[in-house]
Structure 1
Amino acid sequence: MNDATWDPLLAELDRWRIEGRHLRLWLRDDDAIAPGPQLDRLAALADRFDAPVLLAVIPHLAEPALVPRLTRAPLLLPCQHGSRHRNHAPEGEKKAEFGRHRPLAAMLDEIATARRRLDDLFGPALLPVFVPPWNRIDREVTAALPDLGFTGLSCFRGFTLGERGGPALVNSEIDIIDWHGGRIGRSAPAIVNELTALLVARREKGEPDDRIGLLLHHRDHDEAAWALLDALLARLASHPAIRLADPRQLFSGTIAA
């Protein structure tokens, strides 16, 4: 991995610094269910960079052994990742567990039941944040999430709340895995180009949003994904324009109207 690969991104961050802007970089990791070597690597990476991670746990697949493992990894912060990570979309449509394919009341009951299981497992350590599988969720569901006790919601870049609002929304922006190209870690040039373009657009348009979320899936990371993540954080965490953000603060805002 050539160091020059990172120059465009670092140069753009230098422009942010000169303009007095800071970027809040945060991490979200999906599909957690059990302890294991991959989760250990994620915990070690979080410790190495002092980077809190929003850990989206699948409620009905989560193993009790995950609880004591997370007590030894205080930077891995559990939240709710759907219910069973089960696709209910008909053939030909994009996958979704909580899309417009089932009665609203049934979906809300399922989310509430799943949350009770995570509450039983994690107690007060559980963040009241909902992460829908495949980053897709019907806006009627999002509007009802505050009534179920959720103060935060995280999907992927471009997702917005409907007219009826919902919890505080903080999306992830950059997926480090190439799902369609073999479920492998993306190349450094691809990540640099995508992230730099996002930052340039925000700076030139004067957009106030200073948050960028990296989307991880520790169970699916190959060596290329781990190497990319390590190289990315090694360069960004020490840059004066970067603040590694804690999800507990990111999702502490008021419920959107």
Structure 2
Amino acid sequence: MTEDAAWSALFAELDSWAAAGKRLDFWLRDDDATVPSTQLDRLAALAERFAIPVLLASIPLLAQESLARRLETAPLLRPCQHGTWHRNHAPAGEKKSEFGLHRPLPEILAEVIGGRQRLRELFGDAFLSVFVPPWNRIHPDVAAELPQLGFAGLSCFRNFALGPAGGPRLVNTDLDLIDWHGGRVGRQPGELLAEMVQTLAIRRMSPEPNQPFGLLLHHHDHGNAAWDVLTNLLTRLSGHAAVAFSGPDALFGAATYLATDLD
């Protein structure tokens, strides 16, 4: 599909949302924040331009004081916890995971608590008690323990679901801006938009209530092409009647703040 055709298909789908009386709550999550950079500045400027808060997943034991100082002047970048060390503990041959059951559960939970304490010290009241596991993978048994550790929210990727024991409020991302297998570069616009249209069409036909649609970012890996696609997408979506930009405060609710008092 050409880029022009993909844009036309996206707006036709959004028009169908509007005709059905549905609203697309569109939000952004950005992973792997550790230090200030020109890339982070660019993300902050984009958030301000479109008045769209960004859930900024920060790696606790790699994050620097300088990041906290920078976020003091970037209120729309909302820091939360991205694993602990962003280390893979899965054996060779398995998909990468920091929070699978590859270690004793008490050891895993202690590591999560340590990371949470570190980010609370770093970001203070700006810290949101939302957990984002590296590689979007977490065993359901670990996820079920997160509320007891003070987490009000969990965010993974499209098809992740909580297990029978439940867990915190789950709001997944749905679309990844980066092509990880093609050189860690921004995806081609036509391909990205076609996947978005397909996902939205399925969701529009679902009897479930409106679900937020999350775009996953990694600002460290964005080249100019990725920034251009993101800016163009936000520009075009901001003018459509079926689209509302949302953020973590609305998605995860007031419990995000109440849970910070559970230490």
Using the size of structure 1 for normalisation, the TM-score is 0.96
Aligned to 1:45: 46
Aligned to 1:26: 27
Aligned to 1:191: 192
| Stretches of structure 2 lacking an aligned partner (at least 5 in a row) | 257-263
Counterpart-to-counterpart distance in 2, 1:8 and 1:254: 38
My pick for the range that moved more, 220-229 or 123-132, is 220-229
What's the CA shift string for 1:152-203, capped at 9, x where partnerless? 0000000000000000000000000000011110011111111111111122
Counterpart-to-counterpart distance in 2, 1:145 and 1:132: 11
Structure 1 residues 253 and 121: alpha-carbon distance in aligned structure 2, compared to 1, 3 A threshold: closer
| Contact kept in structure 2, 1:168 and 1:253, CA below 8 Å | no
Aligned to 1:109: 110
| Contact kept in structure 2, 1:58 and 1:85, CA below 8 Å | yes
What's the CA shift string for 1:70-111, capped at 9, x where partnerless? 011010000000000011111111000011100000000000
Aligned to 1:226: 227
CA apart distance, 1:208: 1.9
Which residue identity does 2:115 align to in structure 1?
A: A
Aligned to 1:91: 92
Any residues of structure 2 matched to 1:200-219 within 5 Å, and which?
200-219=201-220
CA apart distance, 1:40: 0.5
Partner SS state of residue 11, structure 2: helix
Counterpart-to-counterpart distance in 2, 1:120 and 1:231: 37
Counterpart-to-counterpart distance in 2, 1:157 and 1:49: 24
Using the size of structure 2 for normalisation, the TM-score is 0.94
What's the CA shift string for 1:185-240, capped at 9, x where partnerless? 00111111111111111222333233100000000111111111111111112211
Counterpart-to-counterpart distance in 2, 1:140 and 1:131: 15
Structure 1 residues 199 and 118: alpha-carbon distance in aligned structure 2, compared to 1, 3 A threshold: same
CA apart distance, 1:249: 1.3
Counterpart-to-counterpart distance in 2, 1:76 and 1:177: 20
Between the two proteins, what is the percent identity of the paired residues? 57
Which residue identity does 1:188 align to in structure 2?
A: P
Displaced runs of 4 or more, over 6 A: none
My pick for the range that moved more, 246-255 or 21-30, is 246-255
| Contact kept in structure 1, 2:153 and 2:169, CA below 8 Å | yes
Aligned to 1:119: 120
What number of residue pairs does the alignment pair up? 255
Aligned to 1:6: 7
Which residue identity does 1:68 align to in structure 2?
A: R
Aligned to 1:73: 74
Which residue identity does 2:168 align to in structure 1?
A: P
Which residue identity does 2:172 align to in structure 1?
A: N
| Contact kept in structure 1, 2:97 and 2:134, CA below 8 Å | yes
